[in-house]
Amino acid sequence: MGTLEGLNREQQEAVCHFEGPLLILAGAGSGKTRVLTNRIAWLIEAQNINPWNIMAITFTNKAAGEMRERVDRMVGFGADSVWVSTFHSTCVRILRRYIDRLGYGTNFTIYDGDDQKTLMKDICKRLQIDTKVYRERSLLAAISSAKDELIGPEEYKLKAQGDFTKMKIAQVYEEYQRQLRQNNALDFDDLIVKTVELFQNNGDVLDYYQERFRFIMVDEYQDTNTAQFCLVSTLASKYKNLCVVGDDDQSIYKFRGANIGNILNFEQFFPEAKVIKLEQNYRSTQNILDAANAVIANNRGRKEKSLWTANGAGEKVNFRQFFSAFEEAEYIADDIRKKVQQGICGYQDCAVLYRTNAQSRMFEEKFLLSNIPYKIIGGINFYARKEIKDLLAYLKTVDNARDDLAVRRIINVPKRGIGAATISRVQDYADAHGISFYDGLKAARDISGVGRGAAKTVPFVTFIQTLRSKQEFYSVTELLNEIIEQTGYVKELEAEGTEEARERIENIDELVSKATAYEETAEEPSLSGFLEEVALVADIDSLDGEGSKVVLMTLHSAKGLEFPQVYLAGMEDGLFPSYLCITSDDPTDVEEERRLCYVGITRAMKELTLTAAQTRMIRGQTQYNKMSRFVKEIPQELLQTEKKGRFGAGSFGSVSAGNGTADSGSGSLGAPASSGVQQMEAKKRAYQQAREAFRSQVFQPKQFQVKMAEGLDYKEGDTVSHVKFGVGVVQKIVEGGRDYEVTVDFERAGVKKMFASFAKLKKL
């Protein structure tokens, strides 16, 4: 039969499962979408199931569209009766018919993100909520998380008893829902929640859809939240013909509300369920799969499976460790260029994957300077990000206040209450007198019609003038840090507490690192020089819009994609897995990071390269990082290793993935000596000197470029603040030979040891 042609035994078994619950554990690259569409065709052709009675649900419009096309091609006549859509689209169709049962009009409005923010602003004003303490974004995020778990305002309020912050959120949540109902509107979370509520309270409606959808299939099941699980399990409770397809090892959206328990506990919810594992991979080589299997095997919260392929062993996994992140980016750029020149691959065959968006900056700059075409997926150019453009606009204003665009961009960043009418009148005055907008602001008190608005411009002008007076004796990094601190830019983002805000903070840290790196390499560093360098590397509009390009993206964005050549960068503890996960009390946080690593590894088809840096600049300070625990989990026989550092490629020989120690393996001393004991001895001495120099810097970081702080204005027991770690209490101060070593117990980040000159702690 056509629906079974070309399928392996397990795929055929999954396609031909008729009635009853079915869990298909589909490993990476195992052809799950093909199984789903073939199963739909088999139900119609072999079992004479009416297409009207089949529903397939997925997450994105793109995935639904692709499945729709495949079903149409396979089924032909009657295919349009199969309900193929996303969760949200499914719920909208149901609610348009029956939401009047819940007291809403069927012509309800769906609020997008901007609508939600506008509504939340109004609510905060009405309830006199201090948005500096309770950010609109964080309030919306808390409400969304509650809805994911089907927790309404009343239940949230009951659970919040005794917690002042949660009680405040409960108050906002209650008013938010009241306003939505009054406006006959739903947000995206409500689409799921209200459909579940409709089914729970209206037996006849539920019965209608249970009869309509006798066979239900759900793709990417590992990404479902509690509300989505409740929706599909309720629909399937009558006939129990629920087929879910997913991979618990690729569950990486916990921060969006995904509940991995839905797939791990499927057999508990449906005891009669049949489980089929799809373990044959059609994408990668066996060495790549063995590496992925070895890493993910360290997770406890998973269902046992092991990927295999008929594609052959392939190349070993490359692992390269460098002294700095700059050398890491340089190596990847050079390696891609060589492979393209040798005809091994095209630029479009290569992907650089990383944990955080901020890591793209180094690769963007290196690729641009190396004339390597690239594109960023799931993100935007580093220098085009809002937070980066805002801070650069401040620096441009300090350097050249005649830049009207820069001044206008930041005049209300942060909010200063300078209204559009004031800005317009100042601009008209500046145009009439042939002066800059900034000079117009300085003369605001003399401008007719500005009135009380002039008083709001004074703090802004004073701030800029203060920064300009410091420009002569402040470094670029110090100016940037001053702007960040005085504007409260990072503090506002920290108050939001969202994943997006955390990424924006990481981007700001990377900009500070860029400023510090510029000052270390420029012959005569200056603010003008820094802005000029940034402008040159930020201008990527000249890149050809057509043709092949290297892809840059985060690991989260890479899910579902595949590339012949994959570079997984930043394989260091503290970066990947992230510092927050390592220090978390919840062991499942590291398991989520390990699943993300598994996703990254399994994107590679032919070659996989893992890279790490022993030193990486974070917020302008050099940090020393251990090799990622995920690299150590890969058996050494699968790795082709070579440590590279500031003393030249290959100078440290091969590195054990298990302990990171260097040895004198083949190639470790450069090109082999042509002859003579003297040459060999010279090579050994050079190697030993390089190794000792390396050890003195990597394994003794406390002696690296430390300058003694000139006295301290705080003592043990004092409360202090740190620009990144927040508020903490000084536990211990030790006066060393080069600087004071200060131990601080921070409220959020825990106990930290740091040098006083670097920490720049402020007594509160």
Residues, the chain: 764
Of 3, 250, 602, 614, catalytic? 250
Cβ distance 23 to 263 under 8 Å?
Answer: yes
Query: What is the SS3 assignment for 726?
Result: strand
492-511 tens-digit pLDDT = 888 887 888 888 998 999 89
Of 10, 136, 219, 349, catalytic? 219
Query: Cα–Cα distance between 222 and 23 in angstroms, integer?
Result: 11
Alpha-carbon separation of residue 458 from 428, 435, 440, 463, 490 (angstroms): 18, 18, 12, 9, 23
pLDDT at 660: 36
Of 603, 606, 616, 619, catalytic? 603
pLDDT at 413: 87
Query: Cα–Cα distance between 620 and 758 in angstroms, integer?
Result: 10
Residues 6+ apart with CB under 8 A from 388: 382, 507, 508, 511
Here the tokens at position 211 are 């009869």
Which ranges of the chain have pLDDT less than 70? 1-2, 379, 535-547, 643-710, 724, 736-738
Q: Is 498 a catalytic residue?
A: no
86-139 tens-digit pLDDT = 898 899 899 989 999 999 888 888 887 777 888 898 899 889 988 878 888 889
Of 3, 11, 32, 90, catalytic? 32
Quick count: other Cβ atoms within 10 Å of Cβ 278? 24
Here the tokens at position 332 are 């990847």
pLDDT at 737: 56
Residue type, 318: N
pLDDT at 698: 37
Residues 413-440, buried b or exposed e (16+ Cβ, 10 A)? Answer: beeeebeeebbebbeebbeeeeebbbbb
Query: Cα–Cα distance between 104 and 100 in angstroms, integer?
Result: 5
Angle in degrees, CA 95, 101, 107, rounded to 5: 45
Q: Is 220 a catalytic residue?
A: yes
Which of 718, 726, 723, 764 has its CA nearest to residue 742?
718
Residues 6+ apart with CB under 8 A from 672: none
Query: Cα–Cα distance between 170 and 375 in angstroms, integer?
Result: 43
Cβ distance 304 to 52 under 8 Å?
Answer: no
Sheet holding 22-26, edge to edge: 83-86, 54-58, 215-218, 242-246, 22-26, 274-278
Q: What are the respective helix, strand and coil percentages of the chain, to the nearest 5?
A: 50, 15, 35
Query: Cα–Cα distance between 588 and 301 in angstroms, integer?
Result: 8
596-615 tens-digit pLDDT = 999 999 999 999 999 999 99
Backbone angles phi, psi at 611, to 5 degrees: -130, 150
Query: Cα–Cα distance between 271 and 273 in angstroms, integer?
Result: 5
Q: Is 219 a catalytic residue?
A: yes
Query: Cα–Cα distance between 29 and 347 in angstroms, integer?
Result: 22
pLDDT at 596: 96
Alpha-carbon separation of residue 287 from 39, 458, 633 (angstroms): 31, 65, 14
Of 220, 247, 249, 365, catalytic? 220
